[in-house]
Amino acid sequence: MKTEIRVVFFDLGNTLIYEKDPWTPFYERADQALLDVLREAGLQANQQMYRGFRGLLDLYYHRRGNDTKEETTLVLLKQLLEEQGNRQIPGDVLRAALRAMYSVTQENWHVEDDAIAILRALREKNFRLGVITNSSDDENTQALISKAGFRPFLDWTISSAAFGKRKPHPAIFDAGLQHFEISAQEAAMVGDTFDADIVGAEQVGMFSIWITRRVRKTTPHFNVRPDAVISTLNEIPALLHA
């Protein structure tokens, strides 16, 4: 007998929310906001500490590569400041600086038109819902979820920044299964990033749903095929019912 799907996990960026405009102007403003907080606190901080990169986020994404171990922007920023000769770096200053930086980048994330409606529809059909997302900072992730209005529909969320491992590492998917106390066959994963969302879901045996409307580069892993491909979130209820 076929196992019924009871829990649907979603990726966040470019699945439930999307980036509307080019990032460069936002990154420049965000980094200036971060540096202003650090300097006001008396720390030595300037563009040179990024080793030729345009800012903290630019360096973070460059260093991230294919390694699934998550190095958050908090850890990276502390390391950069220590290399600048700063020895007393209050944690609350680091957090305030990152909060200022992310308050700028959050402006460029917008809710997909069908996101709220589909989350509501799935809850009304008694599905339990969660978010599994790669993230440089968990506080930023939680802020994005709250600002988008998703919180009332979600039973559980996890970010790689909080967990310590990025998708497609199977452990972050297993954490979701353990939270809901279900088997992989009772869960579906919806995401836009093939190598993170689809490969990761397939590794643990979840039903994988690849949403392609924001996909810019399609390079599917040659050994993995998604269980379903959709272009809008509105296709999910009929797909799960079938």
Which range, of 55-59, 90-94, 221-225, 227-231, averages the lowest pLDDT?
A: 221-225
CB 191 within 8 A of CB 160: no
Burial of 202: CB neighbours in 10 Å, binned 0-12, 13-18, 19+: buried
pTM above 0.75, yes or no: yes
The enclosing H or E element of 8 equals strand 7-10
Summarised one tens digit per residue, pLDDT across range 137-146 is: 999 999 999 9
What's the pLDDT at 223? 84
Summarised one tens digit per residue, pLDDT across range 218-228 is: 666 668 899 99
Summarised one tens digit per residue, pLDDT across range 5-37 is: 999 999 999 999 999 999 999 999 999 999 999
Given a cut of 80, is residue 217 above it in pLDDT? no
CB 10 within 8 A of CB 201: no
CB 131 within 8 A of CB 9: yes
What's the pLDDT at 65? 78
Given a cut of 60, is residue 1 above it in pLDDT? no
Give the start-to-end residue ranges of the domains of the chain: 7-16+112-241, 24-107
Which CATH superfamily, name and number, covers 7-16+112-241?
Answer: HAD superfamily/HAD-like (3.40.50.1000)
CB 8 within 8 A of CB 187: yes
Average pLDDT for 91-96:
98
